[in-house]
Chains A and B, each alone.
Chain A
Amino acid sequence: MSTRDLVLSALFAAIIVALGILPPITLGFIPVPITAQSLGVMMAGVVLGAQRGTVAVLIVLVLVAIGLPVLSGGRGGLAAFAAPTTGFLIGWVFAAFTTGYISERLVKHGQAAGMQLTGFFFAAMMGGIVVLYAFGIVYLAFAAQIGLKAAFTGSMAFIPGDVIKAFVAALVGRAVMAGYPLLPVKS
Protein backbone atom coordinates (compact mmCIF):
# COMPACT_ATOMS: atom_id res chain seq x y z
CA MET A 1 0.00 0.00 0.00
CA SER A 2 1.43 3.38 -0.95
CA THR A 3 1.71 6.08 1.69
CA ARG A 4 -1.02 8.05 -0.05
CA ASP A 5 -3.42 5.08 0.07
CA LEU A 6 -2.64 4.51 3.73
CA VAL A 7 -3.28 8.19 4.49
CA LEU A 8 -6.54 8.16 2.51
CA SER A 9 -7.73 5.16 4.51
CA ALA A 10 -6.72 6.74 7.80
CA LEU A 11 -8.46 10.00 6.91
CA PHE A 12 -11.62 8.11 6.03
CA ALA A 13 -11.40 6.21 9.29
CA ALA A 14 -11.23 9.61 10.99
CA ILE A 15 -14.36 10.67 9.08
CA ILE A 16 -16.20 7.54 10.28
CA VAL A 17 -15.13 8.28 13.86
CA ALA A 18 -16.23 11.92 13.53
CA LEU A 19 -19.64 10.79 12.25
CA GLY A 20 -20.09 8.83 15.50
CA ILE A 21 -19.63 11.98 17.56
CA LEU A 22 -22.80 13.42 16.03
CA PRO A 23 -25.70 12.09 18.12
CA PRO A 24 -27.11 8.68 17.04
CA ILE A 25 -30.70 8.32 15.92
CA THR A 26 -32.59 5.42 17.46
CA LEU A 27 -35.49 4.09 15.46
CA GLY A 28 -38.23 2.05 17.12
CA PHE A 29 -37.56 -0.10 20.17
CA ILE A 30 -35.07 -2.59 18.76
CA PRO A 31 -31.53 -2.34 20.03
CA VAL A 32 -29.29 -1.55 17.06
CA PRO A 33 -28.93 2.22 17.09
CA ILE A 34 -29.14 3.93 13.72
CA THR A 35 -25.93 5.82 13.37
CA ALA A 36 -24.26 7.88 10.76
CA GLN A 37 -21.30 5.53 11.18
CA SER A 38 -22.79 2.78 9.04
CA LEU A 39 -23.32 5.49 6.44
CA GLY A 40 -19.61 6.18 6.79
CA VAL A 41 -18.87 2.54 6.03
CA MET A 42 -20.91 2.64 2.82
CA MET A 43 -19.23 5.92 1.85
CA ALA A 44 -15.79 4.40 2.44
CA GLY A 45 -16.66 1.81 -0.20
CA VAL A 46 -18.11 4.17 -2.80
CA VAL A 47 -15.44 6.86 -2.38
CA LEU A 48 -12.26 4.83 -1.88
CA GLY A 49 -13.06 1.46 -3.48
CA ALA A 50 -12.65 -2.04 -2.09
CA GLN A 51 -9.09 -2.13 -0.76
CA ARG A 52 -8.73 1.32 0.79
CA GLY A 53 -12.34 1.28 2.03
CA THR A 54 -11.76 -2.03 3.82
CA VAL A 55 -8.56 -0.74 5.38
CA ALA A 56 -10.37 2.39 6.61
CA VAL A 57 -12.94 0.24 8.43
CA LEU A 58 -10.23 -2.05 9.83
CA ILE A 59 -8.48 1.01 11.28
CA VAL A 60 -11.71 1.99 13.05
CA LEU A 61 -12.01 -1.51 14.53
CA VAL A 62 -8.38 -1.34 15.75
CA LEU A 63 -9.20 1.95 17.48
CA VAL A 64 -12.20 0.31 19.16
CA ALA A 65 -10.12 -2.68 20.26
CA ILE A 66 -7.34 -0.62 21.84
CA GLY A 67 -9.86 1.16 24.05
CA LEU A 68 -10.75 4.41 22.32
CA PRO A 69 -14.45 5.35 22.55
CA VAL A 70 -14.81 5.89 18.82
CA LEU A 71 -18.17 4.21 18.22
CA SER A 72 -21.36 6.25 18.32
CA GLY A 73 -22.54 7.05 21.83
CA GLY A 74 -18.99 6.89 23.14
CA ARG A 75 -18.85 3.09 22.95
CA GLY A 76 -15.51 1.43 22.57
CA GLY A 77 -13.06 -0.97 24.10
CA LEU A 78 -13.16 -4.73 23.91
CA ALA A 79 -16.61 -4.76 25.52
CA ALA A 80 -18.00 -3.43 22.23
CA PHE A 81 -17.13 -6.85 20.80
CA ALA A 82 -19.16 -8.60 23.51
CA ALA A 83 -22.55 -7.20 22.51
CA PRO A 84 -25.25 -9.25 20.75
CA THR A 85 -24.92 -6.80 17.85
CA THR A 86 -21.19 -7.36 17.36
CA GLY A 87 -21.90 -9.12 14.06
CA PHE A 88 -22.88 -5.78 12.58
CA LEU A 89 -19.54 -4.33 13.70
CA ILE A 90 -17.51 -7.18 12.17
CA GLY A 91 -19.76 -7.03 9.10
CA TRP A 92 -18.62 -3.45 8.46
CA VAL A 93 -15.34 -4.77 7.03
CA PHE A 94 -17.12 -6.96 4.50
CA ALA A 95 -19.75 -4.30 3.81
CA ALA A 96 -17.09 -1.76 2.86
CA PHE A 97 -15.30 -4.33 0.72
CA THR A 98 -18.45 -5.40 -1.15
CA THR A 99 -19.60 -1.83 -1.69
CA GLY A 100 -16.19 -0.87 -3.04
CA TYR A 101 -15.83 -3.98 -5.18
CA ILE A 102 -19.18 -3.47 -6.90
CA SER A 103 -18.65 0.30 -7.25
CA GLU A 104 -15.30 -0.21 -8.99
CA ARG A 105 -16.95 -2.44 -11.57
CA LEU A 106 -20.29 -0.72 -12.12
CA VAL A 107 -19.40 2.94 -12.13
CA LYS A 108 -17.38 4.52 -14.95
CA HIS A 109 -16.11 8.06 -15.39
CA GLY A 110 -17.89 8.89 -18.63
CA GLN A 111 -21.29 7.57 -17.51
CA ALA A 112 -24.40 9.72 -17.19
CA ALA A 113 -25.02 10.98 -13.65
CA GLY A 114 -28.08 8.80 -13.28
CA MET A 115 -26.17 5.65 -14.18
CA GLN A 116 -23.41 6.45 -11.70
CA LEU A 117 -25.98 7.13 -8.99
CA THR A 118 -27.75 3.84 -9.70
CA GLY A 119 -24.45 1.93 -9.67
CA PHE A 120 -23.38 3.43 -6.35
CA PHE A 121 -26.84 2.88 -4.85
CA PHE A 122 -26.82 -0.79 -5.87
CA ALA A 123 -23.29 -1.22 -4.49
CA ALA A 124 -24.19 0.42 -1.17
CA MET A 125 -27.35 -1.70 -0.87
CA MET A 126 -25.47 -4.94 -1.54
CA GLY A 127 -22.62 -4.11 0.84
CA GLY A 128 -24.29 -2.01 3.50
CA ILE A 129 -27.49 -4.04 3.69
CA VAL A 130 -27.27 -7.55 2.18
CA VAL A 131 -23.74 -8.41 3.33
CA LEU A 132 -23.86 -6.40 6.56
CA TYR A 133 -27.17 -7.89 7.71
CA ALA A 134 -26.04 -11.41 6.81
CA PHE A 135 -23.20 -11.03 9.32
CA GLY A 136 -25.29 -9.15 11.87
CA ILE A 137 -28.27 -11.50 11.81
CA VAL A 138 -26.26 -14.73 11.95
CA TYR A 139 -24.19 -13.45 14.87
CA LEU A 140 -27.25 -12.10 16.69
CA ALA A 141 -29.03 -15.45 16.31
CA PHE A 142 -25.97 -17.26 17.64
CA ALA A 143 -24.83 -14.95 20.44
CA ALA A 144 -28.27 -14.10 21.80
CA GLN A 145 -29.66 -17.59 21.19
CA ILE A 146 -32.79 -16.17 19.63
CA GLY A 147 -32.88 -18.16 16.41
CA LEU A 148 -32.45 -16.90 12.87
CA LYS A 149 -36.11 -16.05 12.40
CA ALA A 150 -36.34 -13.77 15.43
CA ALA A 151 -32.97 -12.19 14.63
CA PHE A 152 -34.14 -11.54 11.09
CA THR A 153 -37.48 -10.07 12.21
CA GLY A 154 -35.82 -7.86 14.81
CA SER A 155 -33.30 -6.50 12.35
CA MET A 156 -35.88 -5.68 9.68
CA ALA A 157 -36.88 -2.54 11.56
CA PHE A 158 -33.55 -0.98 10.60
CA ILE A 159 -33.72 -1.69 6.89
CA PRO A 160 -35.69 1.47 5.95
CA GLY A 161 -33.09 3.68 7.66
CA ASP A 162 -30.28 1.86 5.92
CA VAL A 163 -31.93 2.16 2.52
CA ILE A 164 -32.01 5.92 3.07
CA LYS A 165 -28.34 5.78 4.07
CA ALA A 166 -27.47 3.79 0.94
CA PHE A 167 -29.13 6.51 -1.11
CA VAL A 168 -27.20 9.26 0.70
CA ALA A 169 -23.99 7.26 0.19
CA ALA A 170 -24.76 7.04 -3.55
CA LEU A 171 -25.34 10.81 -3.76
CA VAL A 172 -22.08 11.46 -1.94
CA GLY A 173 -20.19 8.89 -4.01
CA ARG A 174 -21.30 10.50 -7.24
CA ALA A 175 -20.58 14.05 -6.08
CA VAL A 176 -17.11 13.12 -4.81
CA MET A 177 -16.41 11.32 -8.08
CA ALA A 178 -17.30 14.51 -9.95
CA GLY A 179 -15.33 16.79 -7.61
CA TYR A 180 -12.30 14.74 -6.57
CA PRO A 181 -12.31 11.27 -8.15
CA LEU A 182 -10.50 8.62 -6.11
CA LEU A 183 -12.39 5.44 -6.97
CA PRO A 184 -10.15 3.02 -8.89
CA VAL A 185 -12.43 2.23 -11.83
CA LYS A 186 -12.13 -1.27 -13.30
CA SER A 187 -13.22 -1.87 -16.85
Chain B
Amino acid sequence: MQSLYVEGNSRLHLISARVKLIVLAVLGIALFATANIALLGFAVVATGAVYFGIGMPVRAALARLKPILLTILIVAVFSLAFNPWHGAVVALLRLTALMLFAASVTATTTIAAFMDEITLAARPLERLGLVRADDVGLAVGLVVRFVPEIIGRYHAIAEAHHARGLKVRPATVLVPLIILTLKDADNIAAAIDARGIRRHVN
Protein backbone atom coordinates (compact mmCIF):
# COMPACT_ATOMS: atom_id res chain seq x y z
CA MET B 1 0.00 0.00 0.00
CA GLN B 2 1.49 3.27 -1.17
CA SER B 3 1.29 6.11 1.36
CA LEU B 4 0.15 9.56 0.21
CA TYR B 5 3.42 11.00 1.52
CA VAL B 6 5.49 12.71 -1.17
CA GLU B 7 9.25 12.71 -0.98
CA GLY B 8 10.65 16.22 -1.04
CA ASN B 9 12.34 19.02 0.86
CA SER B 10 9.86 21.88 0.69
CA ARG B 11 9.52 24.17 3.67
CA LEU B 12 6.46 22.23 4.81
CA HIS B 13 8.48 18.99 4.87
CA LEU B 14 10.82 20.52 7.40
CA ILE B 15 8.14 21.67 9.84
CA SER B 16 7.34 19.14 12.58
CA ALA B 17 4.18 17.08 12.27
CA ARG B 18 2.83 18.45 15.54
CA VAL B 19 3.05 22.06 14.37
CA LYS B 20 1.35 21.18 11.08
CA LEU B 21 -1.48 19.38 12.86
CA ILE B 22 -2.00 22.28 15.26
CA VAL B 23 -2.06 24.76 12.35
CA LEU B 24 -4.56 22.52 10.56
CA ALA B 25 -6.83 22.45 13.61
CA VAL B 26 -6.60 26.23 14.07
CA LEU B 27 -7.25 26.77 10.37
CA GLY B 28 -10.31 24.53 10.55
CA ILE B 29 -11.76 26.56 13.41
CA ALA B 30 -10.86 29.89 11.76
CA LEU B 31 -12.44 28.89 8.45
CA PHE B 32 -15.70 28.02 10.13
CA ALA B 33 -15.64 31.21 12.20
CA THR B 34 -15.80 33.52 9.20
CA ALA B 35 -18.35 33.83 6.40
CA ASN B 36 -16.50 36.61 4.58
CA ILE B 37 -16.16 35.55 0.94
CA ALA B 38 -13.09 37.70 0.28
CA LEU B 39 -11.30 36.26 3.31
CA LEU B 40 -12.25 32.69 2.41
CA GLY B 41 -11.18 33.30 -1.18
CA PHE B 42 -7.81 34.44 0.09
CA ALA B 43 -7.59 31.29 2.22
CA VAL B 44 -8.16 29.14 -0.87
CA VAL B 45 -5.44 30.98 -2.80
CA ALA B 46 -3.02 30.74 0.14
CA THR B 47 -3.63 27.05 0.87
CA GLY B 48 -3.52 26.38 -2.88
CA ALA B 49 -0.11 28.03 -3.05
CA VAL B 50 1.06 25.86 -0.17
CA TYR B 51 -0.29 22.68 -1.74
CA PHE B 52 1.08 23.29 -5.21
CA GLY B 53 4.35 24.52 -3.71
CA ILE B 54 5.16 21.11 -2.25
CA GLY B 55 6.73 20.00 -5.50
CA MET B 56 4.30 17.40 -6.79
CA PRO B 57 3.68 17.37 -10.56
CA VAL B 58 0.47 19.39 -11.09
CA ARG B 59 -1.40 16.50 -12.65
CA ALA B 60 -0.62 14.12 -9.78
CA ALA B 61 -1.45 16.85 -7.27
CA LEU B 62 -4.87 17.37 -8.86
CA ALA B 63 -5.56 13.67 -9.29
CA ARG B 64 -5.34 12.93 -5.58
CA LEU B 65 -7.75 15.77 -4.75
CA LYS B 66 -10.29 14.83 -7.41
CA PRO B 67 -12.74 12.63 -5.46
CA ILE B 68 -13.00 15.02 -2.50
CA LEU B 69 -13.10 18.15 -4.66
CA LEU B 70 -15.87 16.55 -6.71
CA THR B 71 -17.89 15.88 -3.56
CA ILE B 72 -17.46 19.49 -2.42
CA LEU B 73 -18.53 20.80 -5.85
CA ILE B 74 -21.56 18.54 -6.16
CA VAL B 75 -22.76 19.47 -2.67
CA ALA B 76 -22.29 23.18 -3.52
CA VAL B 77 -24.38 22.80 -6.68
CA PHE B 78 -26.98 20.86 -4.72
CA SER B 79 -26.95 23.63 -2.13
CA LEU B 80 -27.67 26.27 -4.80
CA ALA B 81 -30.94 24.53 -5.57
CA PHE B 82 -32.13 24.98 -1.99
CA ASN B 83 -30.38 28.01 -0.56
CA PRO B 84 -29.22 31.53 -1.45
CA TRP B 85 -25.93 31.51 -3.39
CA HIS B 86 -23.94 33.14 -0.56
CA GLY B 87 -24.07 30.04 1.66
CA ALA B 88 -23.11 27.74 -1.19
CA VAL B 89 -20.06 29.84 -2.11
CA VAL B 90 -18.96 30.14 1.53
CA ALA B 91 -19.16 26.37 2.04
CA LEU B 92 -17.36 25.73 -1.24
CA LEU B 93 -14.43 28.04 -0.42
CA ARG B 94 -14.23 26.95 3.21
CA LEU B 95 -14.05 23.23 2.48
CA THR B 96 -11.72 23.68 -0.49
CA ALA B 97 -9.22 25.63 1.64
CA LEU B 98 -9.43 23.07 4.43
CA MET B 99 -9.00 20.22 1.97
CA LEU B 100 -5.96 21.86 0.34
CA PHE B 101 -4.17 22.35 3.63
CA ALA B 102 -5.11 18.91 4.95
CA ALA B 103 -3.78 17.35 1.75
CA SER B 104 -0.58 19.41 2.13
CA VAL B 105 -0.04 18.07 5.64
CA THR B 106 -0.62 14.51 4.46
CA ALA B 107 1.75 14.91 1.51
CA THR B 108 4.60 16.26 3.65
CA THR B 109 4.35 14.09 6.77
CA THR B 110 5.68 10.55 6.91
CA ILE B 111 3.66 7.71 8.39
CA ALA B 112 6.27 7.37 11.12
CA ALA B 113 5.83 11.02 12.13
CA PHE B 114 2.05 10.61 12.21
CA MET B 115 2.37 7.45 14.29
CA ASP B 116 4.54 9.28 16.81
CA GLU B 117 1.86 11.95 17.20
CA ILE B 118 -0.90 9.37 17.56
CA THR B 119 1.08 7.43 20.15
CA LEU B 120 1.66 10.66 22.05
CA ALA B 121 -2.02 11.54 21.88
CA ALA B 122 -2.91 8.06 23.13
CA ARG B 123 -0.70 8.32 26.25
CA PRO B 124 -3.27 10.16 28.39
CA LEU B 125 -5.89 7.60 27.32
CA GLU B 126 -3.44 4.88 28.30
CA ARG B 127 -3.22 6.29 31.80
CA LEU B 128 -7.01 6.04 31.99
CA GLY B 129 -6.70 2.39 30.98
CA LEU B 130 -8.65 2.87 27.75
CA VAL B 131 -6.04 1.92 25.16
CA ARG B 132 -2.44 0.89 25.08
CA ALA B 133 -0.60 3.44 22.97
CA ASP B 134 1.77 0.90 21.40
CA ASP B 135 -1.18 -1.21 20.26
CA VAL B 136 -2.08 1.46 17.71
CA GLY B 137 1.14 0.89 15.82
CA LEU B 138 0.78 -2.88 16.11
CA ALA B 139 -2.76 -2.75 14.70
CA VAL B 140 -1.72 -0.50 11.81
CA GLY B 141 1.11 -2.87 10.97
CA LEU B 142 -1.23 -5.87 11.03
CA VAL B 143 -3.68 -4.24 8.62
CA VAL B 144 -0.98 -3.24 6.13
CA ARG B 145 0.38 -6.80 6.32
CA PHE B 146 -2.97 -8.55 5.79
CA VAL B 147 -4.81 -6.46 3.19
CA PRO B 148 -2.96 -8.03 0.21
CA GLU B 149 -3.60 -11.48 1.67
CA ILE B 150 -7.34 -10.80 1.97
CA ILE B 151 -7.52 -9.52 -1.59
CA GLY B 152 -5.74 -12.67 -2.77
CA ARG B 153 -8.17 -14.78 -0.78
CA TYR B 154 -11.10 -12.92 -2.34
CA HIS B 155 -9.85 -13.75 -5.84
CA ALA B 156 -9.37 -17.39 -4.86
CA ILE B 157 -12.95 -17.60 -3.57
CA ALA B 158 -14.31 -15.85 -6.68
CA GLU B 159 -12.35 -18.31 -8.83
CA ALA B 160 -13.79 -21.23 -6.89
CA HIS B 161 -17.25 -19.84 -7.69
CA HIS B 162 -16.44 -19.65 -11.40
CA ALA B 163 -15.00 -23.16 -11.41
CA ARG B 164 -18.32 -24.46 -10.07
CA GLY B 165 -20.43 -22.35 -12.42
CA LEU B 166 -21.76 -20.23 -9.53
CA LYS B 167 -22.43 -16.52 -9.69
CA VAL B 168 -20.22 -14.41 -7.41
CA ARG B 169 -22.68 -12.96 -4.90
CA PRO B 170 -21.79 -10.76 -1.93
CA ALA B 171 -23.08 -13.14 0.75
CA THR B 172 -21.51 -16.29 -0.71
CA VAL B 173 -18.11 -14.60 -1.07
CA LEU B 174 -18.06 -12.58 2.14
CA VAL B 175 -18.90 -15.44 4.50
CA PRO B 176 -15.94 -17.67 3.57
CA LEU B 177 -13.72 -14.59 3.27
CA ILE B 178 -14.54 -13.45 6.81
CA ILE B 179 -14.38 -16.89 8.40
CA LEU B 180 -11.09 -17.80 6.69
CA THR B 181 -9.55 -14.46 7.65
CA LEU B 182 -10.70 -14.39 11.27
CA LYS B 183 -9.71 -18.02 11.84
CA ASP B 184 -6.10 -16.86 11.58
CA ALA B 185 -6.58 -14.62 14.63
CA ASP B 186 -5.61 -17.30 17.17
CA ASN B 187 -2.34 -18.12 15.43
CA ILE B 188 -1.44 -14.47 14.89
CA ALA B 189 -2.24 -13.63 18.51
CA ALA B 190 -0.14 -16.58 19.69
CA ALA B 191 2.74 -15.41 17.49
CA ILE B 192 2.52 -11.89 18.87
CA ASP B 193 2.45 -13.08 22.47
CA ALA B 194 5.24 -15.61 21.88
CA ARG B 195 7.46 -12.75 20.73
CA GLY B 196 6.48 -10.67 23.73
CA ILE B 197 5.58 -7.73 21.52
CA ARG B 198 2.92 -6.48 23.91
CA ARG B 199 5.14 -7.30 26.94
CA HIS B 200 2.49 -7.80 29.62
CA VAL B 201 -0.25 -10.06 28.30
CA ASN B 202 -3.66 -9.98 29.87
- A contact set with B: CB distance below 8 Å: 1-4, 6-15, 17-18, 21-22, 29-32, 36, 39, 43, 47, 55, 59-60, 62-63, 65-70, 73-85, 140, 143-147, 149-150, 154, 168, 171-172, 175-176, 179-180, 182
Contacts and interface: CB of A to CB of B under 8 A. Distances in A.
A29 B73 CA distance: 12
A80 B31 CA distance: 17
A15 B193 contact: no
Given A17-B143, A144-B75, 6 more contacts: A7-B189, A47-B182, A59-B143, A146-B91, A150-B82, A172-B178
Interface stretch (B8-16, B52-60, B110-118, B159-167): B110-118
A182 B181 CA distance: 13
B182 A168 contact: no
A7 B175 contact: no
A158 to B, nearest CB: 13
Contacts of B136: 62
B50 interface: no
Contact of A18 (B79, B140, B147): B147
Interface in B16-70: 24, 28, 64-65, 67-68, 70
Contact of A83 (B24, B99, B146, B185): B99
Contacts of B198: 3
Interface string B160-202: 0000000000110011011101111110110011000010011
B151 interface: yes
A176 B67 CA distance: 34
A179 B185 contact: no
